[in-house]
Amino acid sequence: MKKNIVVLISDQMQKRAVLDDKRCIMPNLRRLQEDSVTMENAHAVNAICSPSRASLISGLLPHNHGMVDCTHTVPAYRADFSNKIKTMPEALKDEGYHLAYYGKWHIERTYDLSRYGFEDYETEKTIKSSKLTSLGKVQVKTDGYKDYTLCGVYKEGEEASEEHFIYSKAIDFIDKVKDDERPFCVFASTYAPHDPYFAPNEIFSLYDENDFPLPSDWNDHVCKLPDIYSRLHSVWRDLSESDLRKAIMCYYACCTLVDKQVGKLVSYLKEKGIYDDTLIVFLSDHGDMCGSHGLFCKGVPAYEEVYNIPLVMKFPENRYAGVKETAYVDTCDIMPTIFESCGINWLANRIDGSSFIPYLTGSKNRHDSFTVSEFLGQRYSYTQRIVWHKGIKYVFNAFSVDELYDLNKDPLEKENLVDDSEYADVKHEICKLLWDRVVKTDDWSFRDAQYCMHRILPSGPNLGSVGKGFALYNKTM
């Protein structure tokens, strides 16, 4: 008998805040962890919404599925989800699953989810905004730009929130199909805690300003880093300390708002006797700086606050309950893990991810694990590749100086070691892993960057041959 699947997606939720920082009130997610596997070193494949979400349902890296930037930020010729890919929901439909999706989609441009097999759905295109009464907000002012609202508190309770609506829709759908012989798969995808961090006062009031000093690295001088990092730091420089604290508290309150909805859904599954037979995945598409390194939101700064995401998976019958796995995995690995756990042997296209169950069974060595993320856009077309392996993190910045951090000794990424001679061999070794992933995932544009003006990585791919396009336009004797 096939297992039910519930996928809970939060937007811009930082793993360190919700799972590691005890100040963040997340009792329901932490209870779910007791029955689940927590992937401690899960990383988003990309720092922004659409590329990461498209990787979730395709198992492909952005360079292969095509949505390399957000749907609303660039024209289709710069980023478009390939219609040749068969996705996770389509595979589940073929397996006989009831399918529903509620909440933020932001994966492709049609917003016609029926083409992916969903029989019921409501997305940001159709969900009506609630009329909320503001009790105060924080705005960022920049010369010549429209004022930007970073956070705020509203009078109404959590029942007025979009998050409550989304999870209620998911529960209603499950209630309708739970007694059918066919299994179900439901996605509940919240906007929270994405900025602007709007929180109901009843939840915001649970937090005490005295518990939230400014992050220790708020005023760190940005040295030996890309210039864009310091330029972005300047966006927030005129905010008062009180406003900064409020923003962090609002972010945490939004995380708590999501947690309350998770608690309601889990309680419902238990009440109806279907919790044990249901696979539950909780994740975020990417994280948020939330004040660290003097920054908020997400984008080109490739810090752990943005890339290290919460990934909690409760397997059917609570297999691997309470395990905290340290292998490096990424967004692309979620789909094949779901399929393996639920006995689904379907993969219509070659994918870039792989199931992480072998790490849990011990058949695969976690010490050999590594992962690579890629950043290809955000309007100004920054190009990055980020590699993690054995606590070392390398960031290739095509537009500026590279970064290298020893997270074993420096988890807050305060010291860029890219020019440290003691790490020269490490840098070259991790570059080999990058090229390995580039070749295996057919990142051909990056792989074939053999032209003299592109030779800017610490070491090249050492390939015996290059693509036909390079050979055609770069003559040799």
Which tens digit of pLDDT belongs to each residue from 7-49?
Answer: 999 999 999 999 999 999 999 999 999 999 999 999 999 999 9
Angstrom distance (rounded) from CA 178 to CA 5: 12
Q: Give yes or no for a contact between 382 and 300, defined as CB atoms under 8 angstroms apart.
A: yes
Q: pLDDT for 131-180, tens place per residue?
A: 999 999 999 999 999 999 999 999 999 999 999 999 999 999 999 999 99
Q: Are strands 120-122 and 134-140 parallel, antiparallel or unpaired?
A: unpaired
Q: What is the DSSP letter of 395?
A: E
Q: Sort 296 into a burial class: Cβ within 10 Å, 0-12 / 13-18 / 19+.
A: buried
Task: Say what the pLDDT of residue 345 is.
Answer: 83
DSSP-assigned beta bridge partners for residue 149:
139
Q: Sort 119 into a burial class: Cβ within 10 Å, 0-12 / 13-18 / 19+.
A: middle
Residue 446, classed as helix, strand or coil, is helix
Confidence of residue 310 (pLDDT cuts 50, 70, 90): very high
Q: pLDDT for 189-233, tens place per residue?
A: 999 999 999 999 999 999 999 999 989 888 876 678 999 999 999
If you write DSSP's letter for every residue of 121-148 in order, what string do you get?
EE-TTTPPPP---EEEEEEE--TTS--E
Q: Taking CA 182 as the corner, what is the angle to CA 176 and CA 185, rounded to the nearest 5 degrees?
A: 70
Higher pLDDT, 472 or 76: 76
Question: Is a pLDDT exceeding 90 seen at residue 370?
Answer: yes
Q: Mean pLDDT across the stretch 354-374? A: 97
Task: Say what the pLDDT of residue 233 is.
Answer: 92
Q: Mean pLDDT across the stretch 181-187? A: 97
Confidence of residue 474 (pLDDT cuts 50, 70, 90): confident
* Number of Cα atoms under 13 Å in the Cβ half of residue 48: 23
Task: Say what the pLDDT of residue 44 is.
Answer: 98
Question: Beta-strand (E) ranges in 116-234?
Answer: 120-122, 134-140, 148-154, 184-189, 197-200
Task: Say what the pLDDT of residue 469 is.
Answer: 62
The whole-chain average pLDDT of the chain stands at 95
Higher pLDDT, 301 or 467: 301
